[in-house]
Structure 1
């Protein structure tokens, strides 16, 4: 049965960016439509897929009026596709949903309950259970981004040591107006990490106690299909034609940018820069190694 659609905007928008995702897409959509919190819209943005993705999307859009399908004529890159969904969203809350992941039926409702009750919280997410290609659970992790500190600089300081590896909270539920104040997903590797750092400067983050989010590990997932820094860069932005980026150096520049643009006091910005300076000292080996590799292999990387 298709839920009734109100004449007002839905409470939450779930945005699904996809490119050639026919293998897992239907299961991802089903897990969204099965949410007990039904006042939602689902927008699927197809990045010019060449497989059966479009047929799957059309089928669900015809079956359920909450589903809307839009398509780019060509692959515009992950950054464009993710950000387009935020532009199209009508809900006052927003969630990205990767085409190969799954949500427990209570995920969105549990996040919305926190956001409605706690005005200071701008992002709510659940611990992550990783699953394999068949859906078998592999491991569950708590990301530890439960930042309920009042001062933005304290939240930012606590975030920096954790800013490595999987950025699972990026798939939590945001306040849409706050997310739109950021630069969202940038056209460079690990821009989801910078986004979460930016969010810490704009409000509190809440981690639920129960694992309700299932992230799929498989051979075609982006981090495995694009192992090198240059491949990851072009996954975010196919138009990129430069050499492999100096990732850690770019992170520093982006951290400084979000601190400068954050709606916080000068004193808080100074505290954030102080915390970043400590982080730079912790990562000095990576920074030096990256610079050496860039110089050594520059002629090869230009090809």
Structure 2
């Protein structure tokens, strides 16, 4: 239903798609030329189509800041949190920027809308070292070595799911390093420990023969295609399920593939890795993103306070 001229009118998805077909096509072309990943393109298009559905049948060129804010307010009322709201705003900023650069419109009504302030210093969910050990003992099945390599790359190299999905055979080098294509199409080089390098070599030796000989994906599915993002997430999810059966105390936590990346970052900080190096390892464009991992648990805080306890003047206690 769309409110038009004082009346509610029944509209179909096809009508909305036809109305904004040119704008969506221009946006798609722009995103591809920007080198955005397929996952980013799909996410941006999904948010944009939701927006277009809401503003139909208004012309794009006549939209203003209020139209974007009305959409964001509607999403918040439907349950979207600050993070989801900011992602939708980023999608619309990109959408209008694309149309502007493609000379389809003259303004970007989303450009000056402020992002929501998100909760800072929120401690990410991560696994302790003993929990990680039990996690890797939970890996089993026909593709055990492949899955072991995938999960090691998350938990002990800090890779994102999408980065593992994009990994090619030639990205593993003889010197033990891997070259990773991360967010923003930025490459980073990660020197792997020898033990992990050997696991990857074994995984490559046991690599399933792809259906197409030109397929260079490092990890191949049982169907002979590059392992999908969803399947990589499933590998982690299934292993977490086994872990939670062994460790019921973890049942209250929302464990997912990204939590392994959190675990990697936490281990690095606890081992004394400086935040700038950690930023490079994680492939963060901003050091502010990396700073969420500088959380310190109670044990470390107690150790820090114990260091100064010997410096408290003894005469203080005698005054009481």
- TM-score, structure 2 normalization: 0.22
Larger RCO (CA under 8 A, 6+ residues apart)? 1
If each structure's helix is expressed as a fraction of its own residues, which one has the higher value? 2
Q: Which has the larger radius of gyration?
A: 2
- TM-score, structure 1 normalization: 0.23
